[in-house]
Structure 1
Amino acid sequence: MYYRSSNIAARIFDRQISTPAPGTSVHHARRFYENLVPSYTVYEVECPDHSFRKFTDDGQYLISFSRNHQELIVYRPRWLSFSCNDDDCDKHDLPSKARRFDSFFTQLYCVSLASCNELICKDFFLYMDSNQFGLFATSTAQIHDAPAVGGAVQGVPSIEKITFHLLRLEDGEILDRKVFSNDFVNLTHNMGVFLYDDLLAIVSLRYQTIHILQIRDSGNLVHVRAIGEFCREDDELFLNSNAQDISSSDKNKQHQSTENHVENQMHQGQPHMGNSFLSGIKQRLLSFIFQGLWNEESDDTLRMQRLRMKFYFHFQDYVDLIIWKVQFLDRHHLLIKFGSVDGGPQVSRNADHHPAFVAVYNMDTTEIVSFYQNSADELYLLFEKFCDHFHVTSRNSMYMNFVSSHSNNIHALEQLRSIKDKASNSSQFVKKMLASLPFSCQSLSPSPYFDQSLFRFDDKLISATDRHRQSTDHPIKFILRNYPHSLKFKIKPGAHYFQAVCILNIKMTR
């Protein structure tokens, strides 16, 4: 086993005289974090009364909101302000200014986003690395018992106004806005919005539409297409033309028949299609399911029996499915989650108990490529072997390629298989694992301290996934994965943990 020195000076010298294997330079550089660990906590820091959201993935900006959820406040880290090179730095007291927030962060600006009766959605923030744009959202209060009018889905709440704001984080200038009226987009932990490179997918749960927008370099939000009721750009034109032809035909029939004159007058000018047509995306889905079952059997008798059992018997269940969540797999394919209305727009702890399906949709051909139930073993095997393909990241975010998963890390894979072996019900385990699909956008932290090749920690207490966890009285320990497998640092949760500022104390051992 190759022994790596705990002396950072020795490791820097070793880096000068040796060259890492091809393709491993980034992994080699990340190993320096085995020496660069938090070793001191500053308590009772004079901190502004803000709601802190997160750092951008490149660490350049700290995003926060005012307590009244009206203003955006952005800080830039000042990085290391104090250092110590003694053998025992813990005995030294830090200067008094180290207990002030502004000693570690500089406020860049404060921008008012919300207006009138809107509030900033504190759980929503997306960062565009290439242009350093930030996407924020403000909204009015939810109306839970809103009537389902205009083609809205019954049971989905409504929000009078949802506004997306595109800002340049360097100076806080608002570049563009996009407003959704009397709609519902699930903004909790970025669930209803997915950003991939310059493409943005926004899911309207209330009207079952996937809005695809493009973020131009100039900072404009340009509408590209809407997937839902229509799939192709000329679908609406074709249906409207067909409806006009049918309406004209009805008018001619009225002149030919006088006994039904009164009844025809009631329906005059209304296209016969009414609400009988399914949405374009739903028709694509039903066609894919039908064709798949049709092609499984060559005998006509067996084919009809299979269709009756697998398609017609569940036809209404398929029709009632609604879109819950969407993510990009690449610039041409979407991973769409379908479920029942009973599942609710908010993800609960028992979300894996609700029937759900995932489909891969090609935006160019408007075809469903594949369709799986959330308990399908085939989908789980794809998830286990190719998890990184589901955690799609922007081509500009190279550091996101080093987030540990069971597809690229043997330790994470062993942990997953251990949980699988302990599961009493294989089907429930598969549902629980696949309940996270599609993944929420920018929900993982690229911090090297979450690299399971470097450190071992209890992922029940802390992990790279951005989500709320129950606080514990026990400290969270980060243990060196390689020899000598020592405890490198620990975090003490609790009320003081959220008010503390951790600084790096580099010990130059001799």
Structure 2
Amino acid sequence: MVMETVYEDRILHRLRLSSGSTHEFTSVWRARRPPMASSEDEFPTLKPRRIQNQNVVHRLELRRVGSGRAGAHWYRVRCFHQNLFPNFTAVNVEKPPCFLRKFSPDGRCFVAFSSDQTSLEIYEFRGCQAAEDLLRDHDEGRDGEVLSESVRARLFSRFFSLLHVTSVASNGEHLNRECSLFTDDGRYVIVGSAAYLPDEPQPHFFEVYRNNEAVTPNPRSPLEDYSLHIVDLHTGRLCDTRAFKCDKIILSHNQGLYLYRNILAVLSVQQQTIHVFQVTAEGTFLDVRTIGRFCYEDDLLTLSAVYSEAQAEGPAGFSRLYKEKSISSLKHRLLVFLWRRAERDGSATAKRRFFQFFDQLRQLRMWKMQLLDENHLLIKYTSEDVVTLRVTDPSQPSFFVVYNMVSTEVIAVFENTSDQLLELFENFCDLFRNATLHSEAVQFPCSASSNNYARQVQRRFKDTIVNAKYGGHTEAVRRLLGQLPISAQSYSSSPYLDLSLFSYDDKWVSVMERPKTCGDHPIRSAHTHTHTFLSFLFN
């Protein structure tokens, strides 16, 4: 309505300038105009948006004398990054022969993997002022490529000092360069290693299939020996190791393991089992529970009282587990939940559909999982062909199951086209990402549930899929829910990637920690509110 009024006023003004007699036009256009709030303002215009003062002195003074709105303290602190931003980029910097990984949550340590991927290298970050004398005489407006070779060779050692080199992987295993989990206090880091199984001798059949839920491996998803290690960043000591022989755990991007506070969950895709550990204050793994064939730790005793051979060990015992006719405890709880939901529906159609798809439901396999809190798991079920990577079609049907580990109850089940789950994901995205507000290093990832600009980006992405060829609303929901479950510690909380502070091209830079293709030109970043000047460049 405001835009229409402004447009009408401009036309009226032009008519008055072009003709001396505009009585007829004036009466027509004024008849369509809504009544104005003020008779003095005959030609209203859009009220310009008020932009807050960006001066750092003004902000410091405002922080000193003003209290601000309740709950806005952390945002006001992050706003100072608009005044303190990178203004120089050095490219082709020499580094030690290692694979750089990431900073610890508190920013004090930097973790890297050795070139042979058997050791963990821990560096101490000295701060941004460490190379001040090297760059003192260099013009910040010039390109970093003109730096001398001597300066490039010394930059890394100025910013990072090597604290410890810890030998972690052994027995032919190699550390996964995309797997690392930090505890909330920044004291320990959990890394994973794997080794391919030798062709000769091949593992025993019943070591591969330890229960009736085990999947069939194939060349696209080979079996390996895995180990999880926990290392003390302060002392460089290898504190504890847990081994998983002849198994399949997705270590890349932390997809197969999840750390929430001091609870670590590990998903064995091959054995369809979730191992839950507690990371103690001393840096050791403490067994908590194993979810899969049984949900309670004493279920085996209950079963043994009825079926004495259930506790048999050795190859014969494994063969009986593989040929076991009973449904695993976790799968049984899923089927019971779906049956009770069909009963609550009250219609015969719902029960018929349950019986119709019963065999397909029994064949579902766990693919991914994440911890929602200390007691609840979000598990993604899909067909075995998808789990073993025989089929890579993302449109395959799947289910999301919310499971309570303490009460062993299935809380909810959603399809991958559920509008209800999408609404929960959009409104409570930070809870799925587990932003560590409870830790010492407070993190604020830029998400659609806490940032209007990120919400606009997600809506544009959703509208693009809806309006695309072979798209639609269902396809958009399926694509958005394909992000679930979210891998642990996979989103950056850097304020320079906060869309409420800085504006940049999200096609080249993302808060999600995934490799991105390098562009031919630097990525420009500007203030979100002003858009009038360049803040800094990503090279």
Normalization by structure 2: what TM-score?
0.80
Q: SS where residue 476 of structure 2 aligns?
A: helix
Q: Secondary structure at the match of 1:285?
A: helix
Q: How far does residue 474 in structure 1 lie from its aligned partner after superposition?
A: 3.1
Q: Which residue of 1 aligns with 2:406?
A: 364
Cα distance in 1 for partners of 2:321, 2:272 equals 23
Shift of 1:28: 0.3
Cα 1:400–1:278 change in 2 (3 A) is farther
Whole-Å Cα distance in 2 between the matches of residues 272 and 114 of structure 1?
A: 32
Q: 1:58 to 1:38 in 2, by over 3 A?
A: same
In structure 2, what is the Cα distance between the partners aligned to 1:464 and 1:246? 49
* Residues 457/351 of structure 1: CA separation in 2 closer, same or farther (3 Å cut): farther
Q: In the alignment, is residue 323 of structure 1 matched against residue 366 of structure 2?
A: yes
Give the corresponding residue for 1:288: 337
The answer for the alignment partner of 1:507 in structure 2 is: none
**Could you tell me which of 387, 396, 413 is aligned with 1:354?**
396
Give the total of aligned pairs.
464
Distance, in Å, in 1 between the alignment partners of 2:389 and 2:514 is: 14
Q: Aligned pair in 2 of structure 1 residues 378, 6: CA closer, same or farther (>3 Å)?
A: closer
Deviations 1:223-260 (A, max 9, x none): 0000110011221111122112999xxxxxxxxxxxxx
| Structure-2 residue corresponding to 1:436 | 483
Q: Give yes or no for contact 1:118–1:139 (8 Å, CA) kept in 2.
A: yes
Q: 1:185-221: CA deviations, max 9, x gaps?
A: 1101000000001100000111111101001112221
Q: Following superposition of structure 1 onto structure 2, how do residues 401-420 of structure 1 map, counting pairs within 5 Å?
A: 401-420=443-462
Q: Which amino acid aligns with 1:319?
A: R
2:45 equivalent to 1:15: no
Supply the AA of the counterpart residue of 1:327. Q
Q: Report percent identity of matched pairs.
A: 32
Match of 2:112 in 1: 64
Where 1:185 maps in the other structure, the secondary structure is coil
The answer (yes or no) to whether the contact 1:51–1:66 under 8 Å persists in 2 is yes
1:402 is paired with a residue whose SS is coil
Contact 1:186 1:346 in 2 (8 A): no
> Could you say which residue in structure 2 is the equivalent of 1:470?
517
Say whether 1:389 aligns with 2:431. Answer: yes
Equivalent residues in 2 for 1:26-425 (5 A)? 26-79=74-127, 80-83=129-132, 89-90=140-141, 96-97=150-151, 99-100=153-154, 101-130=156-185, 132-141=187-196, 148-151=208-211, 152-155=214-217, 157-244=221-308, 274-297=323-346, 302-303=347-348, 305-308=349-352, 310-345=353-388, 352-394=394-436, 396-397=438-439, 401-423=443-465, 424=467, 425=472
1:284-317 CA-to-partner distances (Å, cap 9, x unmatched) read 00000010011101xxxx43x4312x11111111
**Take 1:246 and 1:236, find their aligned partners in 2: how far apart are those partners?**
7
Kindly tell me: are residues 177 and 273 of structure 1, through their superposed partners in 2, closer, same or farther at Cα, counting changes over 3 Å? closer
Determine helix, strand or coil for the equivalent of 1:286: helix
Amino acid at match of 1:50: C
> Higher relative CO (CA 8 A, sep ≥ 6), structure 1 or 2?
1
SS in 2 for 1:306: helix
Shift of 1:470: 2.3
Q: One-letter code of the match for 1:371? A: V
Q: Kindly provide the CA deviation profile for residues 381-404 of structure 1, in whole angstroms up to 9, marking residues without a partner as x.
A: 111122122112445336555211
Structure 2 counterpart of 1:34, one-letter code: Q
SS for the counterpart of 1:294 is helix
What is the identity, as a one-letter code, of the residue corresponding to 2:120?
Answer: L
Task: Give the gaps of 5 or more residues in structure 2.
Answer: 1-48
Contact persistence 2:232–2:239 (CA under 8 A): yes
Q: Is the 8 A contact 1:55 1:61 kept in 2?
A: yes
Q: Contact conserved, 2:435 with 2:445, CA < 8 A, in 1?
A: no
- 1:482 and 2:524 correspond: no
How has the CA–CA distance of structure 1 residues 220 and 272 changed in structure 2, closer, same or farther, with 3 Å as cutoff?
A: closer
Shift of 1:413: 1.3
Shift of residue 184, structure 1, vs aligned partner:
1.1
| Further displaced range: 81-90 or 206-215 | 81-90
- Quick one: distance in 2 between partners of 1:168 and 1:271? 42
1:146-166 per-residue CA deviation (whole Å, 9 max, x = no partner) reads 755322311364544211111
Q: Is the 8 A contact 1:57 1:446 kept in 2?
A: no
Cα distance change, pair 143–230 in 1 and its aligned pair in 2 (3 A) = farther
- 1:82-129 CA-partner distances (Å, limit 9, x unpaired): 458999744699795464110111111111111131111111000002
Give CA-to-partner distance per residue, 1:157-179, whole Å, 9 cap, x none.
45442111111111111111111
Q: Deviations over 1:407-451 (max 9, x none)?
A: 111111122222222323111111111011110000011100111
The answer on whether the counterparts of 1:139 and 1:159 sit within 8 Å (CA) in structure 2 is: no
Q: Distance in 1 between matches of 2:142 and 2:528?
A: 28
Moved more, 403-412 or 440-449: 403-412
Higher radius of gyration, 1 or 2: 2
Unaligned runs of 5+ in 1: 248-266, 493-510
Shift of 1:54: 1.2
Rounded to whole Å, the distance in 2 between the matches of 1:235 and 1:463 is 45
The answer for the alignment partner of 1:261 in structure 2 is none
Return 219-228 or 39-48, whichever deviates more: 39-48
Query: Which one-letter code corresponds to 1:330 in the other structure?
Result: D
Please, what TM-score do these two structures have when normalized by structure 1? 0.84
Partner of 1:257: none
Shift of residue 13, structure 1, vs aligned partner:
3.4
Instruction: Evaluate the alpha carbon distance shift between residue 208 and residue 235 of structure 1 in structure 2; reply closer, same or farther with a 3 A threshold.
Output: same
